[in-house]
Amino acid sequence: MFHVKHNLNKDIKVLKAQDHVLTGEFFNIYLDSNTGIFWTSIKKDHNHLKYYMSEKYIPHSNKKGFFGYIYSVSQSIMFLYKRNILKKYLSPKCHILDYGSGDGKFADYLNKEGFKTSKYDPIKDRLKKTQETDYQLDMIMLWHVLEHIPDLQNTMKSLIFKLENKGTFVIALPNRDSLDSKIFKEKWAAWDVPRHLYHFNHDSIIKLMNSYGFFLKSKHPLFLDAFYVSYLSAKIKKSKFPWLQCLTIGVVSNLFALFSKQYSSSIYIFKKI
């Protein structure tokens, strides 16, 4: 069992969201005014692990059929996109850790491209005593992982300890201020309670990383996430035409973000101050 530790205040109740993947339970989401982080309130005896034990949870399952095919093609496109972003921070001698690696496909892809990449997933590899790296790391990647981490403070300290002084954090996150979030409101799929324990926007992730001594080097949109999240959100709303909403809201959200910079998800590159 994972034990979740929160040091955040219930300053403002933001909304109540439902677990649409497994249990149908409702969870309150609060704002901590000091950090600007929205967070999911859970019980003291909360068993975080059980909420990942479902074939409906795509990052840890192999989807088949047309949707699985679209997901696979999109994943291949994003691998190339992410590699092109990361390569300016990498050299052949770099050691990379993909923390929260899921099926490990992106780490395998980087290894094939010549970058030494280890992988560790706290769900799949929870019985292992180490994170497969006894050496210092040049880069730690968290692809839609930070929002899932139960004990955020201690995990971050552990990861930073493994990172070289000039190392890089790569963090991808959904954006609670995106247009698709505002359209779908409490049915926005990226709330994903209670798997998502924290809900960031641009300012709150920068403030969090600044507190650990890291500054923002660059930010890059994840354009396809607006379509993916809109499709899942439309399914939650029981839309008769989820693909239509997926395409319409995905396009509108990305176009709006060209001016607002509030993309559905973004990649943040942080370096040590």
Phi then psi for 4, rounded to 5 degrees? -85, 130
**Residue 1 pLDDT:** 36
Give the Cα separation of 240 and 18 in Å (integer): 20
Pairing verdict, β 12-18 and 198-199: unpaired
Over 60: is that where the pLDDT of 131 sits? no
Mean pLDDT of 260-269: 98
Q: Sketch out the chain's domains with CATH numbers.
A: 12-174+201-224+268-272 (3.40.50.150)
Mean pLDDT of 102-123: 92
Residues paired with 196 in a beta bridge: none
**How many C-beta atoms surround the C-beta of residue 127 within 10 A?**
5
Over 90: is that where the pLDDT of 59 sits? no
- Which of 64-78, 128-142, 210-224, 235-249 is predicted least confidently? 128-142
Mean pLDDT of 208-232: 96
Give the Cα separation of 113 and 19 in Å (integer): 38
pLDDT bracket for residue 3 (50, 70, 90): very low
- Residue 99, C-beta contacts closer than 8 angstroms, at least 6 positions apart: 120, 122, 131, 140, 141, 142, 145, 159
- In Å, how far are 27, 46, 59, 98, 167 from 13, measured between CA atoms? 11, 20, 29, 34, 37
Mean pLDDT of 125-146: 77
Give the Cα separation of 41 and 72 in Å (integer): 33
∠61-238-16 over CA atoms, to 5°? 80
* Tens digits of residue pLDDT in 61-85: 555 666 677 778 888 999 999 999 9
Over 60: is that where the pLDDT of 170 sits? yes
Structure tokens at 186: 């409490």
- This prediction's pTM: 0.91
Give the Cα separation of 148 and 200 in Å (integer): 12
